[in-house]
Structure 1
Amino acid sequence: MSRHNTIPHLFWLICPQLLEKKGLDLSAITDLFGTLSAEQRARIMLLYRGKTQDPEIAYSHLEWLTHQLPEGGRQLMTYGDPKWVQDLGLAGLHCPDQTPLAPVRQALGPNPLLGCSRHQRTLKGDEGALGADYLFFSPIFQPISKTSQEEALGLPQLSAAIAQCQIPVIGLGGIVPKHAQSVLSAGAHGLAFMGAPFESAEPNKTLKEFLTRL
């Protein structure tokens, strides 16, 4: 089986700062994720995004999540230390933009997933050769959950980025369920979202709508 066949088509970024702003905590994620069937959960990769968080707090949150999620760490990735992946049995690691990928892959080993973030000005096209399995390209649309310093790129720029890459590209930035088909039609392997469910009056319905549109 190709390595690319193991890359999820849907990523849900868990941002503790966003949850706090909305008066929520990590249980909002685990409760919502737990309403899905095992088959539905298997189609979503959770990605803990505590980039500016104290490492000890981030690790404790990840540890809590592995105890609360039905699949433990198998549907959970993180930003941070490669060692956390082995210690907690996580699915893989995601690197912020500008992170040197080759040493991270060496530290991580060959099996866990390794992703990276790229913007229009930082995309090189060699990310796969350096060890990444997939990359996030953003922002496709104006972000919902945060103020972005980058201009929304739109679907033509997404297609152009995909043409440069040898690994699956995941569209990120302002994506809600209605965007799913247009992002996929532009050539993306999948899509990622952060706050979309919690911008809705019915978070569970929004989450399931992502799945039905893929």
Structure 2
Amino acid sequence: MTTKSALSSKLALYLVTDNRFVPEGKSLKDVVESAIRGGVTAVQYREKEASTRKMIEEAGELRNLCRSCEVLFLVNDRVDVALAVEADGVHLGQDDMPLHLARKILGSGAIIGITVHNDLERRAAEQNGADYVSFAPVFATSTKPDHQTPLGISGLEQLVRAATVPSVAIGGINLDNVEEVYKTGVDGVCVVSAIMGATDPELAAQAFLERYNRARAHH
């Protein structure tokens, strides 16, 4: 089992993949590899369009890469894909498979994270045995246009204070606002377009980590 503090440090800079940002002539693995070189500590494979076979192929490649770099590797929503590629665990949304069933399938050693939008959902996730929670969305974001009302920094801060498991924040986080987000005491931030869509994902990841270290120094 991963201890709470060990998991917290693994969540510091959490990359969520999105194939729409992969530049022509590069593979998803190329982009993720570059981001890991820059210091990404966790990778979540998120894919909504591809066939199951394609997902298993891509997720398997990323899992091998993450394992060799000692980076946490999770699969979004698809418990079957996570199981097939022996991922470290899954990340579930409020409409995905219930946590207790995912736990039954993946076993007690799997890391299971849940997206929560308010305190009620946070409490339920913790009671049901989530290993970490993801507070969403902090700011408005174009990668998920149908999202809930943004929490803002003060809303995030309240949820972080109340959390009894490690927490991450997602939604519209970029280099301009990430330091403020880290200062709420959240264990990590989830980034999609600001790294996936960067000209140089390695440099982008490094810049996020610099702000993480700066925020931690002042916290």
* Interval of TM-score (by shorter of Structure 1 and Structure 2): 0.7 to 0.9
Quick one: which of 55, 60, 77 aligns to 1:58? Answer: 55
Structure 1 length-normalised TM: 0.81
Distance 2:49 2:174 in 1: 25
Quick one: which of 13, 17, 29 aligns to 1:14? Answer: 17
* Distance change in 2, residues 1:108/1:198 (3 Å): closer
Tell me, yes or no, if the aligned pair for 2:89 and 2:111 is still in contact at 8 Å: yes
Tell me, yes or no, if the aligned pair for 2:56 and 2:85 is still in contact at 8 Å: no
Give the drift of 1:34: 5.5
Q: Are 1:5 and 2:5 matched, yes or no?
A: yes
Tell me, yes or no, if the aligned pair for 2:36 and 2:202 is still in contact at 8 Å: no
The structure that is helix-richer by fraction is: 2
Q: Structure 2 matches for 1:1-214, cutoff 5 A? A: 3-7=3-7, 8-16=11-19, 18-19=20-21, 23=24, 25-33=27-35, 35-36=37-38, 40=39, 44-69=41-66, 71=68, 75-99=72-96, 100-120=98-118, 123-214=121-212
Distance 2:142 2:31 in 1: 18
Distance 1:109 1:208 in 2: 34
Residues 137-170 of structure 1 deviation map (CA, whole Å, 9 limit, x = unaligned): 1110121534243232201111222244321221
Tell me, yes or no, if the aligned pair for 1:139 and 1:150 is still in contact at 8 Å: yes
Give the drift of 1:208: 0.7
Structure 2 alignment gaps of length 5 or more: 213-219
* Distance change in 2, residues 1:83/1:138 (3 Å): same
Tell me, yes or no, if the aligned pair for 1:119 and 1:137 is still in contact at 8 Å: yes
Give the drift of 1:98: 3.2
Tell me, yes or no, if the aligned pair for 2:139 and 2:152 is still in contact at 8 Å: yes
Higher relative contact order (CA 8 A, sep 6+): 2
* Distance change in 2, residues 1:201/1:144 (3 Å): farther
Residues 30-74 of structure 1 deviation map (CA, whole Å, 9 limit, x = unaligned): 3413644xxx35xx1010011454322211211232345562785
Tell me, yes or no, if the aligned pair for 2:82 and 2:90 is still in contact at 8 Å: yes
CA RMSD of aligned residues (A): 2.8
Describe the SS at the equivalent of 1:178.
coil
Distance 1:190 1:201 in 2: 23
Give the drift of 1:94: 0.8
Distance 1:191 1:144 in 2: 17
Structure 2 length-normalised TM: 0.80
- Total equivalences in the alignment: 207
Percent identity between the aligned chains? Answer: 19
Tell me, yes or no, if the aligned pair for 2:52 and 2:81 is still in contact at 8 Å: no
